[in-house]
Amino acid sequence: MHGYRCDRIGVAGDLRDFGGWGRIGAMTEHLDDPAANGPAILAALTGHRTEHPTVWFMRQAGRSLPEYRAAREGTTMLESCLNPELAAEITCQPVRRHGVDAAVLYSDIMVPLVLAGVGVRIEPGVGPVLDQPVRTAAEVDALVGRGPGDASAVAREAQMVVQELGGSTPLIGFAGAPFTIAAYLVEGGPSRDHLAARAMMHSDPASWAKLMDWVADLDADFLTAQTAGGARAVQLFDSWAGSLSEADYTRCVAPHSARALSGLDRTLPVIHFGVNAGHLAVPFAQVAAAASSHPVLGVDHRTTLDHALASLMVAGMTMPLQGNINPALLFAGSEALEAEARAVVESGRRAPGHVVNLGHGVPASTDPDTLTRLVEFVHSL
């Protein structure tokens, strides 16, 4: 949507061994980056300055849009995600309405499980509910025998989006991180504290690792279908990793999140975002950096971009950031919202690349016009 000046920024990589699962590539491979002549948002994600800030919103597709509710009528959430025509239409709606700089695939974190034949439904007002929770070693063993299923509907959705949007507005792929998906499997549905999942990683670490590897492989297939269909970046979204200590996250979760991303072309930007995971900035960044020469840290609204950057620097890392307008300010009037957006853009200038986003998904009750005006405002800065 916007051009950009090609002021390249040195992005230092962390070259130390990263646990037992591979060496982090240098993050300076973007000198021959094809993104350099493409859409501005890809330039920002790969560490280039752009003329204007670029912006998209997590959960921009669906939920708050009346045209989404009209299009969805008569289908369940999961049916709509697996209907390529309908899902592509819903993916494109916020691009048309708001003029955001990227589309994000309309999907659900449960879709990889559905493709693998796991019995799950989304109950309105509740969330995903599994037919059977998976808690014992035997239940894990029975589950992990399943293959990932056929993701061609997902690839087709991506293709249709890319066809409609052309080259100017790229599609960002999306998957829920293995911990979030596995927590649903173990709990059997939404839970406030994910106690059963957090207990299993300690009481039966072997079954936990088996389950997480299986989910990671489903995620890998799901993401590969999206990039095969034309997605030019991906975001791994961990709703619940924020409930973990850094030690538990690093030991019992991070290797599996890295596995979910390991099948991707390393030149694709990988955005890694966790809700309330400011204390996990470093391992989140490491997971993205293990998978991509263009890692990006998604920052939630509780952490300032400056603080996230400082956390990375203490660990000898730096990378472009995404975020992190406080979603509460969508309800606080335009003056407060614009002040917040301006502050976010200003701190983003101190990062080696920055894409504006909310610090969490678009709340369902958001007035769509507020988002449209916010995009215009961000582009004016």
Residue 209, interface with a second copy (CB under 8 A)? no
Tokens of 85: 């025509």
Binding test (CB under 8 A) with a second copy, winner from 86, 209, 336, 381: 336
d(Cα 305, Cα 284) in Å, to the nearest integer?
14
248 is an interface residue for a second copy by CB under 8 A: yes
Q: Is 279 a binder of a second copy (CB under 8 A)? A: yes
Region of 6-14, 228-236, 276-284, 371-379 interacting with a second copy (CB under 8 A): 276-284
314 belongs to the binding site for a second copy (CB under 8 A) = no
Under the criterion CB under 8 A, does residue 126 sit at the interface with a second copy? no
Binding piece for a second copy, criterion CB under 8 A, among 46-54, 149-157, 327-335, 368-376? 327-335
Tokens read off for 108? 């659900």
Regarding 59 and contact with a second copy (CB under 8 A), the answer is: no
Q: Which residue has the tokens 């988002």?
A: 371
Contact call for residue 203 and a second copy (CB under 8 A): yes
Site for a second copy contains 133 (CB under 8 A) = no
Q: Does 150 sit near a second copy (CB under 8 A)?
A: no
Query: How far is the C-alpha of 207 from the C-alpha of 201, rounded, in Å?
Result: 8
Tokens standing for residue 125: 């007002």
Contact status: 332 vs a second copy (CB under 8 A) = yes
Least distance from C-beta 336 to a second copy, angstroms?
4
Nearest-angstrom CA–CA distance, 156 and 230: 10
The conformation of residue 242, written as its DSSP 8-state character, comes to G
Look-up: residue for tokens 């300032």?
A: 304
Nearer to a second copy, 217 or 300 (CB): 300
Which of 27/252 has CB closer to a second copy? 252
Q: How far, CA to CA in Å, does 33 sit from each of 28, 43, 162?
A: 10, 9, 20
Give 261 or 330: the residue with its C-beta nearer to a second copy. Answer: 330
Token readout for 355 is: 């894409």
Number of residues that bind a second copy (CB under 8 A): 37
Residue 265 in contact with a second copy, rule: CB under 8 A: no
- In the complex, what is the shortest distance from the CB of residue 245 to a second copy, in angstroms, rounded to a whole number? 5
Residue 199 near a second copy by CB under 8 A:
yes
Least distance CB 111 / a second copy (angstroms): 22
The answer to whether 315 contacts a second copy (rule: CB under 8 A) is no
Cβ burial of 38 (10 Å; 0-12, 13-18, 19+) is: middle
Chain residues 226-245 in contact with a second copy, contact rule CB under 8 A:
242-245
CB atoms within 10 A of CB 77: 17
Q: Does 196 bind a second copy (CB under 8 A)?
A: yes
Which residue's CB is nearer to a second copy, number 56 or number 249? 249
Pick 154 or 244: Cβ nearer a second copy: 244
Burial 224-259 (b: 16+ CB within 10 A, else e): bbbbebbbbbbbbbbbbbbbbeeebbbebbbbbbbb
Q: How many Å apart are CA 256 and CA 247, to the nearest integer?
A: 14
Alpha carbon distance 102, 100 (integer Å): 6
Per the document, the length of the chain is 381
Is the CB of 138 or the CB of 195 nearer to a second copy?
195
**How many helices and strands in the chain, by DSSP H and E?**
16, 9
Least separation in angstroms between residue 199's CB and a second copy is: 4
Q: Rounded CA gap, 132 and 351, in Å?
A: 45
**CB contact at 8 A, 286 and 18:** yes
Tell me, what amino acid is at 301? H
Whichever of 316 and 333 has its CB closer to a second copy, that residue is 333
CB of 363 to a second copy, least distance (A): 6
Which parts of this chain interact with a second copy (CB under 8 A)?
193-196, 198-200, 202-203, 242-248, 276, 278-279, 301-304, 307, 326-333, 336, 340, 360, 363, 365
